[in-house]
Structures are given as structure tokens and as C-alpha cells.
Amino acid sequence: MHPSEVLFQGTRQPLLLPACDHYAGSEKLMRKSIALQQEIGPLFDITFDCEDGASAGSEAAHAELVASMLRDDGNKFHRIGARVHDLHSAHFERDIEIIVGQAAAQLAYVVLPKPDSVAEVRKALDLVNHHANKAGRQGLPVHVLIETHGALRDVHDIAALPQVECLSFGIMDFVSSHYGAVPGNAMRTPGQFTHPLVVRAKLEIAAACHAHGKVPSHNVTTEIKDPAVVANDAQRAAAEFGYTRMWSIHPNQIKPVIKAFTPRLSEVNEAAHILHDAMSAQWGPISHGGRLHDRASYRYYWTVLQRARLAGLTLPESAIALLNTPVSEAS
């Protein structure tokens, strides 16, 4: 049987998204981002920003620009989303009307910033779905920024919403919401990985995502000149906090983020061998390298292969065969 049939019986497979989410808020930067995505492929997502990363004063015109660029032929991979204004902004509903109403078919997702509760997310989903349905799009994916006390309180309920596929941590707004009780150095390394309140928030978000098969996306690194800082933050986010995706705010950050979240080639080869042997054994327990493996570990190695493919890693032929075999032929 196909791995997806055997390993996830009775449960939904966890969602997987490209490891890097690159934000761009001006026309110049949006076009540069599209050009880079066309150059290296859909190894990273782009989020067109209508909120903090965009200039103020021409909100409706900017939303029209975003919708136009989403419909452009340059969006050939359909891996571009949009962050709209927050739910309490006077521009929120107009953003949704313009962007979702005009480009629902091309949108990869909508990002909702600063909700204060699961009830607010549900209300926003109703508006998104109203305009998406009118445009012929059902179930448009939504990403939610967790950056308020209320959203963190409701994080498991938000992650459980079927239409939500990703939760991102908004560290700067979260730290600011403590009004000086959490120091500013908790927005960056090393404080962001050691301050108890920030660590708690990151772990709650990651745990909620993994409990519901969603993608946890780590906050931005504000250092844009030294790629080693970005790489270190991404490695810690993945290895210590269980994140599988991270923001980028500068083109120089994209490749270090992708690399940090890409499985090592040795692990990919091991995963391919183990799953090949498991399939030959009808997914029963096997011994590999002197260690016992069964379906519990098979699920882990299956995810390794999928993450490697998303990152554009060259895979062993046995892994390609496993990933590409149609379910109907493998059954």
C-alpha cells in the first residue's frame, strides 16, 4: 500500500509548506521577489504585505496592486499569499473585498494579523469565504499571526479550524504588548530563545500546530546583513522549538532559511532505505542498521522525504518512486 494510506490511517496527514515565507510590501520588492521565485522555483512562498510592511496612505491602491500582481503571469507557481490589515483596521474589509474578490483563484493563502480570539478568526473567515465563494474559490487557506495575549490563549482552538493551515509567531507585537515588562532584547537572539514568556509563546504555538497537523512558522530575524545570524536562528527554531517554516524579510535571508529547514542528505538516504524495506515488508516491523523500525518511525521518515522534496533536494531514485507512486497503483 501507499505510505499515505498505511501510515496515517484514521488521521489527516500533517500539512507541509515551503520552509521560507518571504514578505514584500512595496511594488519594487514584490516584483524582485517574483523574479527570484521564478529563478529558483517554488522553494519559498511570497507574502505580499498590506500591513506593517507596506506604506501608509494608499491602502486601497496597494490592495489593487496586490490583486493585479497575483493575477499576473509571473505568479506561475501560485505560491504567493497576502497579509491584509488587521481585523480592527478600517482597511481590513476593503483588503479582503479587493484581493480575495479579484484574485481568489491565484491566492495561495490569506494572512490574518493581530486577532485577539478564535471568535475573531471565525468572523474573519466568514468574510474571506464570502468573497472567495463569489469568485468561485472554496476553502481558501488562511494563515493566522499569533501576536496578542488573546490569540495565544486560544491558540489550540485557532489551530483546530480546518481552513487554517499555518500559525506564525509575531514576536515584535507580542513583546510590545507587555509594555516594557519583557525587554526589547527578547525580540532577537539570544533573548528570543531564552526569555521565559517568549519561549512559552513559541512552544504553545508549535505544540498547537503539531497537535492539529498544521504548520508553525517562526518569527522574522531583523538582521539582514549577516546570513549566519539568520541561519543560526532558523536552526534553533527547527531543532529546539519544532518549527518547520520561518519568515524572511530580505532576499539574503531566503536561502539560509531553506537550508536550515532542509533535512540532511544522509537522513534522506536513510529514510529512503528504511521506507523501501518497510514497503517490501508490507509495512510490518523491520531491522535497519541494528535498530527496530515500525509504523511509528515510518511516519517520521516519510515526512523527511516530503520535506526534502519541498526544499528541492536531489532525492534517491527509490525515494522518488515512493513519493510519485499514485495511490491507486500502490494499493
Q: Provide the number of structural domains found in the chain.
A: 2
What is the per-residue pLDDT across 184-218, written as a single tens digit (0 to 9) for each?
A: 999 999 999 999 999 999 999 999 999 999 999 99
Boundary residue ending a domain (219, 234, 261): 261
The answer to whether 147 is annotated as binding is yes
Boundary residue ending a domain (261, 291, 308): 261
Same domain for 27 and 139, yes or no, is yes
Boundary residue ending a domain (236, 261, 286): 261
The answer to whether 79 is annotated as binding is no
The answer as to whether 3 is a domain residue is no
Strands (E), 138-261: 142-146, 164-169, 215-218, 245-248
The answer as to whether 1 is a domain residue is no
What is the per-residue pLDDT across 259-285, written as a single tens digit (0 to 9) for each?
A: 999 999 999 999 999 999 998 898 999
Same domain for 54 and 163, yes or no, is yes
Same domain for 131 and 158, yes or no, is yes
215-227 mean pLDDT: 93
Does the pTM exceed 0.85?
yes
- Confidence band for 12, pLDDT divided at 50, 70 and 90: confident
The answer as to whether 15 is a domain residue is no
C-alpha dihedral over 180, 182, 188, 194, to 10 degrees? 170
HSE (side-chain half, CA atoms, 13 Å) at 71:
13
Q: What type of residue is 289? A: G
CA 17 to chain centre: 5
Query: To which residue does cell 471565525 refer?
Result: 122
**Would you call 287 helix, strand, or coil by DSSP?**
strand
Same domain for 101 and 71, yes or no, is yes
Same domain for 238 and 311, yes or no, is no
What is the per-residue pLDDT across 45-93, written as a single tens digit (0 to 9) for each?
A: 999 999 877 777 899 999 999 999 999 999 999 999 999 999 999 999 9
Residue 41: all three cell numbers together: 522555483
The candidate with the shortest Cα–Cα distance to 241, out of 210, 266, 220, is: 210
The answer to whether 83 is annotated as binding is yes
Residue 141: all three cell numbers together: 487557506
Give the range of the structural domain holding residue 280, as residue numbers without chain letter: 264-330
CATH number of the CATH domain containing 122: 3.20.20.60
The answer as to whether 11 is a domain residue is no
Same domain for 81 and 58, yes or no, is yes
Judged by phi (left if over 0) then psi (alpha if -120 to 50, else beta), residue 241 lies in: alpha
The candidate with the shortest Cα–Cα distance to 214, out of 287, 306, 141, is: 141
- Confidence band for 328, pLDDT divided at 50, 70 and 90: very low
315-326 mean pLDDT: 80
The answer as to whether 300 is a domain residue is yes
